[in-house]
Amino acid sequence: MATVVRMPEVLAGVTEAAIQAWLVETGQEVSVGTPLAEVETEKAVVEYAAEAEGTVLRLLVDPGAAVAIGEPIAVIGAPGETVDDGDGPDAAPDAAPATGSAVGEGRLFASPIVRRLAREQGIDLARLHGTGPGGRIVRRDLEAQAAGAASASQPGETTAAAATASATAAAPAELVEEVPLTRMRRAIARRVTESSATVPHFFLRADCRVDELLELRRRVNEAAPVKVSLNDFVVKACAGALADVPEANATWGETVIHRHRSADIAVAVAIDDGLLMPVVRGVDRLGLVELAATTADLAERGRSGRLRQDELEGGSFAVSNLGMYGTTEFSAIISPPHAGILAVGAARRMPVVDDEGGLGVAAIMTVTLSADHRVLDGALAARWLAAFQRRIEQPLSILL
């Protein structure tokens, strides 16, 4: 009997996702664990594997089309088996009774998302020609209809879009490129906007002398089987500071404050079209080399779209390092539920005055702590930053 494959809930709380790319073709035999598709969520591209064996009978969703969680996306069965031999009507995309004379007594194939958008935009689906698999109406069909309606507007109508266009008419069209927003870029825009608007940020800065740290890193890498980065030392020092000031290892819970017993720290990873923040669990319990291997693995799998759902969730703190780009200092936006994020700049040689008033030169790394004032008061955040600075400037403490 044919098995209907439905859009999985690859990320908690997500109501829809998109097939970025199919990794199988119609007629291909698959077994349990065979990668079927790359599913694009708001945070990452996740590889989805088959949970049944058989032959791919139909692929029901075009790459790029948004689909509600639980919607049919493919059918797997025995060679020659038809879709109707499976789960009956459920083996095909969700269907809604057709209205109007356009399709007679036939069925109108459209997902719940498309039907909802059509209702919101006042579009009669019965008048549309579906371009999806099997004539299914997909989101691009709605967009094409909306674009056609806009172009058919009566001369003289004034819209906000027209006003905006006239305001920018001075810019030659060949000098402006419109880059379509990806789902990830939309998600990043929404999350940082929400964070800036709802999380009361405040910022503390410290200049850390890192000559001893740079020398220790050089010596460690002479013997380490895995290259240890400066950021690995920073992440480990953050975990040490959370142990020194355990009250800072907390997150906001609306009615309570959650105190965490483990140092689970998110590490910002830049990818081609956005930013991921995979969480390293139990940094306080990891050795430096193990931490370096773990962060390198998360970063590599993040860039290739192979992170798991649980690796992108949770944590109480985060680190964002732009030092490798030559940035000397910056302030980062907190990614809830984290209560803080440490922005790390590049280490650079600078003149310094020692305790006796003498002038010298030292390697200085500027860090900026962004703190959630609902969880961390100024004095508590200052204590944490001082603990971090002590560990960075006395790097042997990071290894203990």
Which residues participate in catalysis according to the annotation? 373
Whole-number Å distance between alpha carbons of 306 and 123? 38
CA-derived radius of gyration, the chain: 27
Contact (CB, 8 A) for 331 and 320: no
Beta bridge partners of 96: 108
In the structure encoding, which two tokens stand for residue 115, read together?
Answer: 């039907």
The count of other CB atoms within 10 Å of the CB of residue 300 is 12
Sign of CA dihedral 52, 53, 57, 60: positive
Contact (CB, 8 A) for 344 and 210: no
Whole-number Å distance between alpha carbons of 351 and 360? 6
Contact (CB, 8 A) for 45 and 54: no
**On the CB side of 94, how many CA atoms lie within 13 Å of its CA?**
16
The count of other CB atoms within 10 Å of the CB of residue 222 is 7
> DSSP letters of 251-293?
EE-SSSEEEPSS--EEE-EEETTEEE-PEETTGGGS-HHHHHH
SS3 334: coil
Whole-number Å distance between alpha carbons of 8 and 377? 41
